[in-house]
Amino acid sequence: MSPCRHFVLSVFSLLLALAPQCGWAETNQLVIGLSQFPTNFNPLIDTTVAKSYVLGFARRPLTLYDKDWNLVCMLCTQLPTIENGQAIVEVQPDGHKGIAVTYTIQPDARWGDGVPVTTKDILFSWKVGVHPDSGVSHGEMFRRIRSIDAKDAKTFTVHLNKVSFDYNAINDFEILPAHMEEDAFSTPADYKNKSRYETDPTNPGLYFGPYHPTTVVRGQYIVFEPNPTWYGKKPAFGKIIVKVIETTPALEANLLSGDIDMVAGELGMTVDGAIAFERRQRPEWVVTYKPELFYEQITANVENPILADKRVRQALLYGLDRQTLIQQISQGKQPIANSDVSAMDWCADPNIKTYAFDPKKAAELLDAAGWTIGSDGVRRNAKGDKLAVELMTTAGNRSREAIELIAQQAWKRLGIEVTLRNQPARTFFGDTVLKHAFPSLALFAWSSFPESLPRTTLASDMAPVQANNFAGQNTGGYKNPEMDRLLDAIEGELDKERRRSLWYQLQALYAEDLPALPLTFHAVPFVLPKWLKGVEPTGHQYPTTLWVENWRIEK
Amino acid sequence: MLRHVSLRLVQSLLTLLVMSFLIYGLISLMPGDPISLMAAGSPSMTPEDVARLKALYGIDRPWTLRYGHWLGAALEGDLGYSRLSAQSVTSTLISPLTNSLALMTCALSLALLIALPVGVLAALRQGRALDHVFNIAAFAAISLPVFWIGLVFIIIFAVGLSWLPASGVETVGGGGGIDRLRHLALPVLALAVAGFGHYMRYMRASMIAVLRQDWIRTARAKGLSWPQVVLRHAMRNALIPVITILSLDLGTLFSGIVVTETVFAYPGMGKLIYDAVTGADYNLALAGLMLATGLTLSGSLLADCAYGLLDPRIGDR
């Protein structure tokens, strides 16, 4: 036998010998592909989608929105309301009105090491949450709390410093185990580094959900196993593995090779990748598209003299065929947005003014605004200035670049000269958008949550300017006293029906003023094996993993 | 030789110091700090939160001050804290560094093991059928994008034949040395294919140039056999430019294999540095880029030593 043939046969034999070890067939386990690894495991520091997804297996918030977008108790026993007497409006020592809300923790809730979840943990978590050096990213929830009274080991009353409609939603009040974390918090500025969530993330005493992480290999995978102290319904899987695979082609390859069973919708395949996967007709999986609260829009810089006229903004929206646009970018999987409030939200106005594609009306509005079409096909005003705008977005985002091109063509037909200028995401968000430095139009998305009051994006005092060190997210510089009044009125209105009416007014004003041109709400694809049941996408920031005990195998 | 190496070591340390200043400055001057980026997609983050976190992470201070602070700590062995991984930079680097070195060493060795003999053979058969076949193979390897090669390998070996795992570093739960080798196989093959074309072309061109030298004819005239001339004399001289290229490639291979790492979900230095730069994790990005710089400088130093070994005249100088 020649040396060459001998070599080829040896390699072939080696591969065959290794082949039986492929795959990791173990029954009663679920392997999930996720496109990002959580930055850390501490629920209070840095809020990312990956972390919410992963911690959903191992923790439960006190309250949250369920899959029908109703506010419900999860770790508490009954949602406190004014009607059931567990929330009472009170006068604070400074004379302002506040509200006292009483919660009771699930009586059987225990940390993984057997220590009960108690009000001691609540008081400790609040202490961490309000401390300026603790590194908590979203401190507003904690700062709203004036004080907390622990009635007993399981019942506590939160005194909020103002009356607001979401008084009983303490969704972001993440509970830390005092018995595990107190030492790490002895020097608050070092807490983010010394927390056991960072130094010992598989310690069962840090979790109280249906599962707890038993192996964490940073950047690669996390293994979850059932938590013996879990007080709720027994989960179906003996092991859940979350593997990090960052790209859609690699996720697809791993599905096909059997290395993963499903792809998380919250952070997985791109919509076009999932559509392509579906087209290849893989009978073993079901692809479900769920619209979520990620609002894609074009913010108008209303300080630009052209865009300061709302007729121009309205004309831009009338002149854009959003139905066709969405068909092109997502095969129609994403819903059209009519304002920043999702149609799935209870406060969404079903009769809101819509801007169906109407180039004739768009032209009339531009004519009325003083922009008349010239012989070169470009509109000009009486002074001879061109109707020219610059549209900016994140470079390299294929979907946004496609939207830009479609918009450019559509608006050109109306006589508007559109220049496209894209920047890397870091420059675009870091310098251009947040510093209000785009000359005309900026295409990007905002994330939100059910009944999210858009104060930071619409209130007059939230425009980022040098004077406030570019704080605030009203990046277009929109100012309308009526909008400010409505934002205040909604926040303080406890009656749901009266609040609904105010929300309708806010949406009507938004649709009329168009501080941003609404495009669509993103949809995310869930790729699930046919044998997996009970995974119910929510469409908001609370991931499917928070109901993991309902996931089951049906073969 | 010793004096030369010592001098180069001092030069390398000075270069590293200058590079650390430049890299820190460039990263800091990039638009968008990490907290602003965090706030960009999250309207629920209040201006108070943004201001508080900027102060906490020291982002509100001038970058030159932050650099001075970093340098002082780094000289004492503390590379700082990685905001993205919520760990010390040193702990964050260990696993990706090991993974990248394993991937780089295996891929480079495999590529050279095939490319160098093939390059020599192609030069010896210049213009003949075998040379054309090797050239076509080399050009194909250079032209095909590495992500495409990676995906094709996954489809063939992981999906179709189920011989090798599609991604990762090891089987969940850890599977030992053989398991890690199996996970390494596809990324190594993909990178080796790309490297093969590159080095084969350099070796061939260099060998052809050497074989035309007068001293080759002299060696033959003195009665040396053709294999002796090729292996002992021509190949040693032809390797010098290849080693130069190789030394320059080390840093690029170390930090620039993001695509391969992404396709195979292989957590290495390339992806780590990319994520650190885009996520504005200054300490981690700096440490990663400094390692890449250090590797390039070490490669260059090793190349100098190798020149001396291959051609004693260079060492004597």
Mean pLDDT of A115-141: 88
pLDDT of A465 strictly over 80: no
**pLDDT, position A3:** 46
Greatest mean pLDDT among A233-237, A445-449, B278-282 lies in: A233-237
How sure is the predictor about A109, in pLDDT bands with cuts at 50, 70 and 90? very high
pLDDT of A21 strictly over 50: no
Q: Does A218 touch chain B (CB under 8 A)?
A: yes
> Whole-angstrom Cα distance, residue A473 to residue A546?
30
Instruction: Identify the residue whose tokens are 């290229």.
Output: B245
**pLDDT, position B312:** 66
Q: Which residue has the higher pLDDT, B31 or B290?
A: B290
A434 closest CB neighbour out of B39, B49, B182: B39
Among A26, A208, A23, which Cα is nearest to A108's? A208
**pLDDT, position A410:** 96
Instruction: Report the mean per-residue pLDDT for chain A.
Output: 90
How sure is the predictor about A141, in pLDDT bands with cuts at 50, 70 and 90? confident
* Closest chain A C-alpha to B109 CA, distance in angstroms: 17
Of A24-28, A433-437, B7-11, least confident by mean pLDDT is A24-28
pLDDT of B251 strictly over 60: yes
pLDDT of B137 strictly over 90: yes
* Closest chain B C-alpha to A413 CA, distance in angstroms: 33
**pLDDT, position A555:** 75
**pLDDT, position A1:** 43
State the best of B36, B44, B85 to mutate against chain A, taking most chain A CBs within 10 Å.
Answer: B44
Structure tokens at A82: 């004014």
Structure tokens at A523: 């949809």
* Closest chain B C-alpha to A243 CA, distance in angstroms: 9
- Give residue-wise pLDDT tens across range A75-91: 999 999 999 999 999 99
| Domains of chain B, residue spans | 2-89, 92-315
Mean pLDDT of A134-142: 76
Parallel, antiparallel, or unpaired for β B87-88 and B81-82?
antiparallel
Long-range contacts of B145-150 (CB under 8 A, 24+ apart): B145/B259, B146/B190, B146/B191, B146/B193, B146/B194, B146/B259, B146/B260, B146/B263, B147/B259, B147/B260, B147/B262, B147/B263, B149/B190, B149/B193, B149/B194, B150/B186, B150/B187, B150/B190, B150/B259, B150/B260, B150/B263, B150/B264
Q: Superfamily assignment of B92-315 in CATH?
A: MetI-like (1.10.3720.10)
> Whole-angstrom Cα distance, residue A323 to residue A554?
38
The length of chain B is 317
Cβ pairs bridging A and B (under 8 Å): 192
Report ipTM (2 d.p.): 0.71
> Whole-angstrom Cα distance, residue B243 to residue B300?
9
Q: Decide if B167 and A243 are in contact by the 8 Å CB cutoff.
A: yes
Instruction: Report the mean per-residue pLDDT for chain B.
Output: 84
pLDDT of B314 strictly over 70: no
pTM: 0.82
Helix (H) or strand (E) holding B243: helix B235-255
Rg (chain B; Cα; Å): 24
How sure is the predictor about A26, in pLDDT bands with cuts at 50, 70 and 90? very low
- Give residue-wise pLDDT tens across range A274-288: 998 988 877 889 999
Instruction: Identify the residue whose tokens are 């590529």.
Output: B111
**pLDDT, position B170:** 85
Q: What residue in A sits closest to B82 (Cα-Cα)?
A: A193
pLDDT of A2 strictly over 50: no
**pLDDT, position A22:** 37
Answer whether A401's CB lies under 8 Å from A393's CB.
yes
pLDDT of A27 strictly over 70: no
| Cross-strand pairs, A518 | A297
pLDDT of B177 strictly over 90: no
- Where b means 16+ CB within 10 Å and e means fewer, B238-264 reads bbbebbbebbebbbebbbebbbbbbbb
**pLDDT, position A447:** 83
How sure is the predictor about B35, in pLDDT bands with cuts at 50, 70 and 90? confident
